[in-house]
Amino acid sequence: MDAFDPLPPPWTKTATHALEFCCPSCRAEAATAQRVWINRRAPVIRETSRRRQWQEFYQCECGQVWWAWSSDRPPSELTKRDNLFPEDLE
Binding of Zn ion by 62 (CB under 5 A): yes
Q: Are 14 and 57 in contact (CB under 8 A)?
A: no
Distance CA 81, CA 57 (A): 15
Binding of Zn ion by 64 (CB under 5 A): yes
Binding of Zn ion by 23 (CB under 5 A): yes
For every residue of 40-61, DSSP letters joined together read: TTS-EE-TTT--EE-EEEEE-T
User: Which residue(s) pair with 77 in the sheet?
Assistant: none
Please report how close the Cβ of residue 24 comes to Zn ion at its closest, in angstroms.
Answer: 8
Choose between 26 and 78: whose C-beta lies nearer to Zn ion. 26
Which of 26, 31, 84, 89 binds Zn ion (CB under 5 A)? It is 26
Residues near Zn ion, by CB under 5 A? 23, 25-26, 28, 60, 62, 64
